[in-house]
Structure formats: structure tokens, C-alpha cells
Amino acid sequence: MFKELDPLLHSELRLAVMSLLISAEEADFVYIKQQTGATAGNLSIQIDKLSKAGYVEVAKSFKGKMPCTTCRITPGGIAAFKEYIEALKSYIDL
């Protein structure tokens, strides 16, 4: 039968964030926002959900006087992403 899809990763924006981070390992908020086309508010909420789940680490710092938020995928996030992909494959490998 079909494997269960992780509802946290099944969201289009959260999946896009994880897809970016799985290949880049780390990215700043501005880059993620540009790549996904998300609004700052929505992206912030979705990154917070991924962070609370332990899939992403968020570091806040400053570059000069400008705030900088950097996101990094965690080992748990990598494992969850791989499981999600395997679950998706079960839907097409009938």
C-alpha cells in the first residue's frame, strides 16, 4: 500500500525550503525568499514550523547593521526529506 506522507513536508513552501537546503545545506532568508517567491511573513512562519520540528536550524546574526537569518538543514531534516521522497516513490512505483 501507499506510505504515509509527512504532512509537515507536504506543504508546497516547506517542501521548497527543504529542497533548497538539501542541496545547499545552508542559505540565508533573503535567498530562500527570492527562490521561493514567498512573502517574508509566510516564509518566516514556515521556517519556524520546520525549526520546531527539528528539520532546520535557524541562526540570527548581523552583517554590519543589517540582520541576517541563516537556515541550515539538520541531520533529522535530511532523514525526513529522504523518507518523504521514498514515500512519494511508492505512489508511482505501482
Q: What is the SS3 assignment for 70?
A: strand
Average pLDDT over residues 23-49: 95
Q: Per-residue confidence at 94, pLDDT binned at 50, 70, 90?
A: low
| Four-way CATH pick for 12-92: 3.30.930.10, 1.10.274.50, 1.10.10.10, 3.30.465.10 | 1.10.10.10
Domain boundaries, the chain: 12-92
pLDDT of residue 90: 86
| Residues whose CB is less than 8 angstroms from the CB of residue 18 and which lie 6 or more positions away in sequence, other chains included | 9, 50, 55, 56, 73, 77, 80, 81
- Cell readout for 23 is 542541496
Q: In what order do the strands lie in the sheet with 56-63?
A: 26-28, 66-73, 56-63
Beta strands in the chain (DSSP E): 26-28, 56-63, 66-73
